[in-house]
Amino acid sequence: MNPSTPFLITPETGHERIAPIHETAALAVDVSDLQFGWDTAADPILDIKALQIAGEERVFIEGPSGSGKSTLLSLLAGVMTAQKGAVSVLGQRVDALSGAQRDRFRADHIGFIFQMFNLVPYLSLIENVTLPCRFSKRRRKRALRRSASVGAEAVRLMAHLNMADPDLLKRPVTELSVGQQQRVAAARALIGAPEILIADEPTSSLDAHHREAFICLLFDECAKETTTLVFVSHDNSLATMFDRTVSLTQINHARRPRIQIVKEAM
């Protein structure tokens, strides 16, 4: 991260200057008094008093299916905004930005590995990997610091993720195995060295050996670029690999639906 690079986004409130990252962002993520519900008239599904993640930290957020893990990640990435509370990422109040400003911030600073990978079937493997550089000049510029072209950087990342075979790189993404598609999704999230990498259940389709190998590859790439990793899964066996584990059920004070409470009592 270049400490002299200020954020170029100003909240719509506009009451104060947005300081450079190094002045404000010892924390990569700082959440306070967050409440979110799909129906504003109903009880919230997320009620988190505080969540803090340090820069360069590798954090494992665990919780059962349906506990709100993916919703929390969407709030951190600015895909959605909460009804109450503050969500700061890299010193920027993302909840204070307009929708277009959140999109720009996410494109420039956050890499996202989706649970279902979300590869674009009509794009080639390399085109899928380089896609973020088409939406972010900042990430394109960073990619070109590492390689002679954005395509060459995509090939370098794929090689680091154990997919260096030229014939493999020419295959349509629809013909790749689940593990190979996963690595393409990881390379797409990593290209251009975003400050934060968010991974939403990315290993759910892999066996134990391939899960651990994939996570080690992520750690290696994140360490090279001092990227903060926020990894979400319901698989507690992975937790020991990370710097810290956050239990969503412990920090989320939202009242659970009655049907779930009855089921657990049976």
**pLDDT beneath 70, residues of the chain:** 1-25, 41, 256-266
Residue 229, strand partner residues: 58, 197
Which pLDDT score, from 0 to 100, does residue 10 have?
40
Residue written as tokens 């990640």?
73
The verdict on domain 57-78+98-265 having CATH code 2.40.50.140 is no
Give me the pLDDT at residue 256, please.
Answer: 64
CA distance linking residue 138 with residue 126, whole number of Å = 19
pLDDT at 42: 79
Strand order in the sheet with 27-36: 46-54, 27-36, 84-89, 92-93
Q: Residue 257: its pLDDT value, please? A: 53
3-state secondary structure of 54: strand
Residue 206: predicted pLDDT? 79
3 state SS of 69: helix
Place of tokens 């391939």: 210
Sketch the domain layout of the chain as residue ranges: 57-78+98-265
* pTM assigned to the model: 0.84
Asked if 249 contacts 63 with a C-beta cutoff of 8 angstroms, the reply is: yes
∠ at Cα 81 (75, 84), nearest 5°? 105
- Would you state the pLDDT for residue 265? 40
